[in-house]
Structure 1
Amino acid sequence: MLEDTQGLHVVAQTPFAPDDTVDHDSIDTLTAFYHRHGAKGLLVLGVSGEAQTLTPDETVGVAAAYVAASNGRPVIAGVSSPNLALLAEVTAQVRAEGAAGVMISPPASVRTDEDLMAYFDAVFARIGDVPVVLQDFPASSGVKMSVPAMARLIGAFPQIAVVKEEDMPSARKVAALRATVPWPVRILTGNNGLYLPQELARGADGPMAGFSYPEMLSGVDRLMRFDNDVAGAHALFNRYLPLLKHEAQGAMGIALRKEVMRRRGALAHAAMRAPGGTLTAEDIAELDAILAHMDLPA
């Protein structure tokens, strides 16, 4: 189960080779890179993991490769889809490959609290007793879930063990959820880690985010939640902020993240599948200028 989920769970990239195939060798090096820099687990096939560009077979293959490379550490697979039959099929397949659970975001067709309950009632009727991360990301899903509606949902479906909170203002909603949603439900945060210190201060259990320097995310989490070193956490966060902000640019931000991780030896190629971002010479020059002023580790 996912009740012990806390600390950094990296939103993993899907690596591609120049010929547009999935680069499975780089899944191995990425997994080692993430865990070497403090990841307690991985979320694969998320929005920034380019899941929408994969075929169903590739989707299961990527999840299986990350599970194999993680050597028993938890891997959660994103399975969100407006097609419930496909969602259920992919859920069964990734679970068979060893995924610890799945992440689900409600589809854009959900408009009311009753729609929300009915949707997840249909989901769990199909997938059964599978541990679930509920993703609250209205900027992507188009669905606004209130705290009372989420609490009602979690009360009705104990399979929901984790909330990935990405609604804005995220720190305020983390606090509201922490005051409303009972333990042992965990709250992790996303939004590329942009508001991580504030979210941790309001009660988050760690980040579920991607960044080319995951050691910053795990370091801030450790300093805030275990060392009680708030000043040190903010100093570490601020050191990386220019690059963190630069990576928060949608598809182009993912391309930038991949390029930095390629330079760090975490993956062989920075390629994205269409319609993903492609870096121009000007984009590379801007990235070089930012990195030149930051004096970051290799």
Structure 2
Amino acid sequence: MTSALAGILPVLPTPFAASGAIDPAALGRVTAFALGAGAAGVVFPGFASEVDNLSAEEREILLREVVRTVAGRVPVVAGASAPSAAEAIGYARQAQALGIGHVMIQAPKSVGVDGAAVAAFYREIAEAVPGIEIVLQNAPAPRGSDLKPDVLLEIVRGNPAITYLKEETIPAGPAITAILKGKPAHLKGVIGGGGARYIIDEYVRGACGAMPAAEFTDIHAALDRAFRSGAVETARNLYMRTLPLLLIQANLRMAFTKYVLTRRGILSNQICRAPLPAFDAVDRAEIDAWLGRIADLLAPAASLQAAE
């Protein structure tokens, strides 16, 4: 039986060596950090993994490393988004062969926003990969299709394989409320996105978890625990203290994540393949200043490296 998805499920970054090649060993260290920091599951590859800049072979090698490091301790959600259903099916089958029960798939822009067309796309995947559970990722435009709640519910109701929605359109809150109000029984939950910049609103509205980037997994896991235990003010305080950094992350994306992971001693470089905004000394100084303000929340990296 596939484990449920709930809590903090970070999207892992893809580390690169100085040569520009992928660095599976470094990904293993990031995965171990996420586990030690309290992640309830991990996601790879996703947008925050620079997935658009990875070959199919690199994706497989790196996903195998994630599965090896996790060793069944928490669920792994494999990213299987692709320009066509045929490619998504290939990634989903690969994930299933590795023992992964959940794949996250965003409807490609080529399918459009018509409910029947998007439903047919997901139905083709579900029929080709029986037993897989699909997390339907609803990303905002221009990257995603920005599907509306009524369209999403139409798609989900006709496809029992879609057991979770990752809702990250802006604003996500009202959409989460509408989806949960009209959800069919087989939809197990809605997961927040948006880099945890709206996590309190998502949780108040009933989201079962969140998929932020990985650099603050320990703080996000503490926030999740506090909220679930009823210590909502503690969760709000953690959110408030991290929000300035998450706003910077919204602009610098993977470069920010890798910079912070390097400062925390988990990665050894900040190399990215994705085309990103320039990252200069002023950015570094500002990030460092805000990191200093939450230093008491950041556990030493060595204490968070889960045993492999």
Same fold per TM (> 0.5)?
yes
Counterparts of 1:130-169 in structure 2, within 5 Å, are 130-169=132-171
Using the TM superposition, give the Cα deviation of residue 61 of structure 1 relative to its aligned residue in structure 2, in angstroms. Answer: 1.0
Q: Which residue in 1 is equivalent to 2:199?
A: 196
Gaps of 5+ in 2: 301-308
Residue 166 of structure 2 aligns to a residue in which SS?
strand
Deviations 1:172-195 (A, max 9, x none): 111111111134521110100001
Residue 93 of structure 2 aligns to a residue in which SS?
helix
Q: Which residue in 2 is equivalent to 1:61?
A: 61
Q: Which residue in 1 is equivalent to 2:42?
A: 42
Q: Which residue in 2 is equivalent to 1:223?
A: 226
Greater shift, 129-138 or 287-296, is seen at 287-296
Q: Which residue in 2 is equivalent to 1:237?
A: 239
Counterparts of 1:94-173 in structure 2, within 5 Å, are 94-109=95-110, 110-173=112-175
Counterparts of 1:270-285 in structure 2, within 5 Å, are 270-276=270-276, 279-285=279-285
Residues 107 and 141 in structure 1, CA contact (< 8 A), matched pair in contact too: no
Using the TM superposition, give the Cα deviation of residue 271 of structure 1 relative to its aligned residue in structure 2, in angstroms. Answer: 1.0
CA distance in 2, matches of 1:277, 1:41: 29
Amino acid at match of 2:242: Y
Deviations 1:28-69 (A, max 9, x none): 211111011110110111111111111110111111110100
1:293–1:7 Cα change, 3 Å = closer
Q: Which residue in 1 is equivalent to 2:260?
A: 260
Amino acid at match of 1:45: P
Using the TM superposition, give the Cα deviation of residue 125 of structure 1 relative to its aligned residue in structure 2, in angstroms. Answer: 3.4
Residues 193 and 209 in structure 1, CA contact (< 8 A), matched pair in contact too: yes
Q: Which residue in 1 is equivalent to 2:303?
A: none
1:189–1:65 Cα change, 3 Å = same
Using the TM superposition, give the Cα deviation of residue 140 of structure 1 relative to its aligned residue in structure 2, in angstroms. Answer: 4.9
Greater shift, 259-268 or 42-51, is seen at 259-268
Residues 254 and 277 in structure 1, CA contact (< 8 A), matched pair in contact too: no
Residues 272 and 278 in structure 1, CA contact (< 8 A), matched pair in contact too: no
Residue 138 of structure 1 aligns to a residue in which SS?
coil
Q: How big is the alpha-carbon RMSD for the aligned residues of Structure 1 and Structure 2?
A: 1.8
Residue 135 of structure 2 aligns to a residue in which SS?
strand
1:270–1:211 Cα change, 3 Å = same
Q: Which residue in 2 is equivalent to 1:287?
A: 287
1:8–1:128 Cα change, 3 Å = same
Q: Which residue in 2 is equivalent to 1:70?
A: 70
CA distance in 2, matches of 1:45, 1:277: 21
Residues 215 and 257 in structure 2, CA contact (< 8 A), matched pair in contact too: yes
Amino acid at match of 2:16: F
CA distance in 2, matches of 1:123, 1:31: 28
Using the TM superposition, give the Cα deviation of residue 17 of structure 1 relative to its aligned residue in structure 2, in angstroms. Answer: 1.0
Deviations 1:106-164 (A, max 9, x none): 11121311222222233333333311110011235441322222222222111111111
How many aligned positions are there? 295
Amino acid at match of 1:91: A
1:164–1:21 Cα change, 3 Å = same
Q: What's the TM-score once normalised by structure 2's chain length?
A: 0.90
Deviations 1:222-276 (A, max 9, x none): 1112x11111110111121211211111xx2210111111111222221111424
Residue 267 of structure 1 aligns to a residue in which SS?
coil
Using the TM superposition, give the Cα deviation of residue 3 of structure 1 relative to its aligned residue in structure 2, in angstroms. Answer: 6.2
Using the TM superposition, give the Cα deviation of residue 213 of structure 1 relative to its aligned residue in structure 2, in angstroms. Answer: 1.3
Query: Would you say 1:81 and 2:82 are equivalent positions?
Result: yes
Residue 248 of structure 1 aligns to a residue in which SS?
helix
Residue 7 of structure 2 aligns to a residue in which SS?
coil
Residues 12 and 214 in structure 2, CA contact (< 8 A), matched pair in contact too: no
Q: Which residue in 1 is equivalent to 2:305?
A: none
| Divergent runs of 4+, >6 A | none
